[in-house]
């Protein structure tokens, strides 16, 4: 599904990635690990076209990632960033806005129908929808970002430390949700020790 | 013609004596501003004297080409000031913002002169330069806030912008909220001053017209018209400035170019 060939990325004089190659198959669950500052988030930013590699190539479904094809990839991947700057204002309006984007609008009514169920699944009350995003706690925002990603009805997920602000039982719930679904292709940056026992995962260690 | 009373040399000397009030204050309070104040006063006098003579000349000829060239000069100076004061890179922005200002301000001024003031000569110096100056001055202030904030807020909230792109937003969709917010901050001061107009302050244009011999009822009509013209040119110039600059400010991946901002 993804093929990374000889990627090199340098910031000022420090190599973040050097001649890095990696393949990801459909349905795989990849756990990206490595100490902080090693370039895990940079890898996601390269895959999403927010950064350009100094050299090397990225293929998505056998198509070279370019300034043209990257827009297609952004419509296929659901990305949950560790940065919780996801928007402002009323939460219901926030979900509506995501689903009003041209590319997502076909799922609008069906996804909004599942919203309540998803809130419950991640232990958030329905009343949260009337609140403003600014009022939410870190843990609530993190789950909101996860739900927002699931509303997109995509099955490729880039998850960047999405459980850092959650307690143990919620962590398990979130990771089970993503890692045990055979339809999902998941690339997850995580510092958690927890992994569902039944999950088949592969570790990508950057160093 | 019953214009404002001319001020004699004696009057101007009396004015100079009035300057002693701030000077004494500065001396007494040891503010250390005396030199700055004197230089600023001197600059103001020299600039205004030069402009005064120049405008005498422009008004006497009242030639469409000369009037237009002077208005274009005013616009160009305003555009340089907008870009410099909003921290954006001159080379990157000067052409698109100049185009935006020329279109927005010429359109509004010509509309005003033709449909509102109903002039037979719509490039008349008095109207084009006076009305144009007011409209332009306000576009300038609004664009420093609006255009500057637009790009700065994207830089500050880059993660949010990328997040929207990752949700599948087109560049236009991802930028819409940023543009909305900069419109609000650019238009708010004008809208707020409209709400208190006439009570808190008598606007400069009304003061000028009343001193120039217009009756207040005429002056207020002009004031209402000019405030609306100002809002129109504000919205037009910011929209066009953003529209003309967005294309070259982002690369094909949707990432903002480094060349948008002036180096510190």
- Residue B96 CA to residue B101 CA, distance in Å, equals 9
Cβ pair B167:A101 closer than 8 A: yes
Residue A93: inside a domain, yes or no? Answer: yes
Query: How do residues B16-73 score in pLDDT, each as one tens digit?
Result: 999 999 999 999 998 888 999 999 999 999 999 999 999 999 999 999 999 999 999 9
Give the per-residue pLDDT at B264: 66
The ipTM is 0.94
Choose the final residue of a domain: B61, B78, B98: B61
Chain A residue with minimum CA distance to B163 = A86
Pair B125, B207 in one domain: yes
Residue B257 tokens read as 């170019």
Choose the final residue of a domain: B23, B43, B61: B61
Residue B63 tokens read as 């030639």
Interface test with A, best of B156, B161, B180, B253 (most A CBs within 10 A): B253
Question: Angle B125-156/B64-85 helices, nearest 10 degrees?
Answer: 20
Interface test with B, best of A12, A89, A90, A97 (most B CBs within 10 A): A97
Name A90's bridge partners: A132
Chain B residue with minimum CA distance to A81 = B163
Candidates B157, B173, B253; nearest CB to A70: B253
Cβ pair A148:B255 closer than 8 A: no
Pair B198, B175 in one domain: yes
Give the per-residue pLDDT at A51: 92
Distance from the B263 Cα atom to the nearest Cα atom in chain A, whole angstroms: 18
Sort out which chain A residues have CB atoms less than 8 A from B184's CB and list them.
none
**Lowest-confidence pick of A24-38, B65-79, B101-115, B232-246:** A24-38
Sort out which chain A residues have CB atoms less than 8 A from B253's CB and list them.
49-50, 52, 67, 70
Sort out which chain A residues have CB atoms less than 8 A from B157's CB and list them.
85
Residue A44: inside a domain, yes or no? Answer: no
Please compute the mean of the pLDDT values over residues B123-143 and round it to a whole number.
92
Residue A195: inside a domain, yes or no? Answer: no
Residue A96: inside a domain, yes or no? Answer: yes
Pair B105, B202 in one domain: yes
Distance from the A25 Cα atom to the nearest Cα atom in chain B, whole angstroms: 21
- Residue A46 CA to residue A65 CA, distance in Å, equals 10
Cβ pair B163:A101 closer than 8 A: no
* Counted domains in chain A: 1
Cβ pair B163:A49 closer than 8 A: no
The confidence band for A38, taking pLDDT boundaries of 50, 70 and 90, is confident
Chain A residue with minimum CA distance to B252 = A67
Interface test with A, best of B158, B161, B162, B166 (most A CBs within 10 A): B166
Pair B76, B45 in one domain: no
Residue B175 tokens read as 């930028």
Cβ pair B168:A101 closer than 8 A: yes
The confidence band for A205, taking pLDDT boundaries of 50, 70 and 90, is confident
Residue A90: inside a domain, yes or no? Answer: yes
Contact of B181 with B149, CB cutoff 8 Å: yes
Residue A181 tokens read as 């679904």
Cβ pair B163:A83 closer than 8 A: yes
Pair B135, B228 in one domain: yes
**B3, pLDDT greater than 80:** no
Give the per-residue pLDDT at A156: 96
Choose the final residue of a domain: B61, B95, B113: B61
Q: Which residue has the tokens 């895959």?
A: A47
Pair B53, B98 in one domain: no
**B261, pLDDT greater than 70:** yes
Q: Which residue has the tokens 């103001």?
A: B44
Give the rounded percent of residues in chain A with a pLDDT score beyond 70. Answer: 100
Distance from the B184 Cα atom to the nearest Cα atom in chain A, whole angstroms: 16
Pair B2, B105 in one domain: no
**B129, pLDDT greater than 70:** yes
Task: Please choose, from the candidates A162, A205, A188, A182, the residue with its C-alpha nearest in 3D space to the C-alpha of residue A26.
Answer: A182
Residue A19: inside a domain, yes or no? Answer: no
Candidates A51, A67, A98; nearest CB to B167: A98
Distance from the A36 Cα atom to the nearest Cα atom in chain B, whole angstroms: 19
Give the per-residue pLDDT at B1: 46
Sort out which chain B residues have CB atoms less than 8 A from A103's CB and list them.
168-169
Average pLDDT, chain A: 92
Pair B35, B70 in one domain: no
H helices of A54-137, where? 69-73, 91-100, 108-121
Contact of B209 with B52, CB cutoff 8 Å: no
**B2, pLDDT greater than 70:** no
Pair B174, B229 in one domain: yes
**A76, pLDDT greater than 80:** yes
Contact of B67 with B128, CB cutoff 8 Å: yes
Cβ pair B167:A152 closer than 8 A: yes
Pair B4, B107 in one domain: no
Pair B97, B112 in one domain: yes
- Residue B205 CA to residue B131 CA, distance in Å, equals 9
Cβ pair B168:A87 closer than 8 A: no
Q: Which residues of B touch A (CB under 8 A)?
A: 157, 159-160, 162-163, 165-170, 173, 251-255
Residue A4: inside a domain, yes or no? Answer: no
* Counted domains in chain B: 2
> What residues make up the domain containing B203?
63-260
Distance from the A205 Cα atom to the nearest Cα atom in chain B, whole angstroms: 25
Contacts of residue B118, defined as CB under 8 A and 6 or more positions apart, other chains included, come to: none
Candidates A50, A87, A148; nearest CB to B162: A50
Name A58's bridge partners: A4
pTM, 2 dp: 0.87
Candidates B160, B168, B254; nearest CB to A86: B160
Pair B229, B255 in one domain: yes
Chain A residue with minimum CA distance to B168 = A75
> What residues make up the domain containing A144?
85-153
Torsion over CA: B193, B199, B203, B206 (sign): positive
For B25-34, letters b (16+ CB in 10 Å) and e give ebeeeeeeee
């Amino acid at each position: 599904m993804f093929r990374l060939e000889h990627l090199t990325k340098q910031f000022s004089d420090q190599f973040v990635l050097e001649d890095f190659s990696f393949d990801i198959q459909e349905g795989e669950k990849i756990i990206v690990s490595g100490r902080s500052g090693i370039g895990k988030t940079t890898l996601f930013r390269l895959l999403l076209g927010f950064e350009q590699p100094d050299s090397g190539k990225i293929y998505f479904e056998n198509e070279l990632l370019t300034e043209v094809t990257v827009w297609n990839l952004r419509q296929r991947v659901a990305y949950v960033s560790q940065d919780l700057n996801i928007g402002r204002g009323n939460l219901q309006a926030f979900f509506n806005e995501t689903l009003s984007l041209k590319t997502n609008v076909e799922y609008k009514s069906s996804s909004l129908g599942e919203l309540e169920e998803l809130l419950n699944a991640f232990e958030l009350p329905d009343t949260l929808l009337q609140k403003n995003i600014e009022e939410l706690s870190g843990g609530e925002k993190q789950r909101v970002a996860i739900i927002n990603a699931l509303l997109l009805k995509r099955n490729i997920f880039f998850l960047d430390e999405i459980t850092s602000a959650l307690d143990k039982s919620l962590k398990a719930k979130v990771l089970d949700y993503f890692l045990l679904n055979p339809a999902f292709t998941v690339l997850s940056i995580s510092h958690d020790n927890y992994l569902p026992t039944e999950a088949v995962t592969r570790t990508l260690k950057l160093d | 013609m019953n214009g404002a009373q001319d001020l004699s040399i004696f009057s101007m000397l009396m004015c100079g004596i009035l300057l002693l009030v701030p000077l004494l204050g500065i001396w007494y309070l040891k503010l250390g501003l005396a030199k700055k104040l004197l230089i600023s006063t001197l600059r103001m006098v020299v600039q205004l004297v030069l402009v005064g003579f120049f405008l005498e000349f422009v008004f006497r000829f009242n030639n469409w080409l000369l009037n237009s060239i002077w208005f274009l000069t005013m616009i160009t100076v305003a555009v340089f000031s907008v870009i410099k004061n909003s921290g954006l890179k001159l080379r990157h922005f000067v052409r698109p913002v100049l185009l935006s200002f020329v279109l927005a301000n010429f359109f509004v001024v010509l509309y005003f002169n033709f449909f509102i003031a109903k002039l037979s000569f719509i490039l008349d110096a008095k109207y084009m330069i006076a009305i144009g100056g007011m409209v332009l001055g306000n576009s300038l202030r609004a664009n420093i806030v609006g255009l500057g904030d637009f790009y700065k807020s994207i830089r500050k909230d880059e993660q949010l912008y990328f997040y929207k792109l990752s949700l599948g937003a087109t560049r236009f969709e991802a930028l819409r909220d940023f543009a909305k917010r900069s419109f609000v901050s650019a238009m708010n001061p004008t809208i707020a001053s409209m709400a208190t107009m006439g009570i808190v302050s008598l606007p400069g244009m009304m003061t000028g017209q009343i001193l120039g011999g217009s009756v207040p009822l005429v002056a207020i009509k002009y004031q209402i018209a000019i405030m609306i013209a100002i809002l129109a040119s504000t919205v037009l110039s910011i929209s066009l400035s953003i529209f003309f600059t967005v294309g070259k400010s982002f690369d094909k991946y949707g990432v903002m170019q480094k060349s948008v901002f002036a180096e510190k």
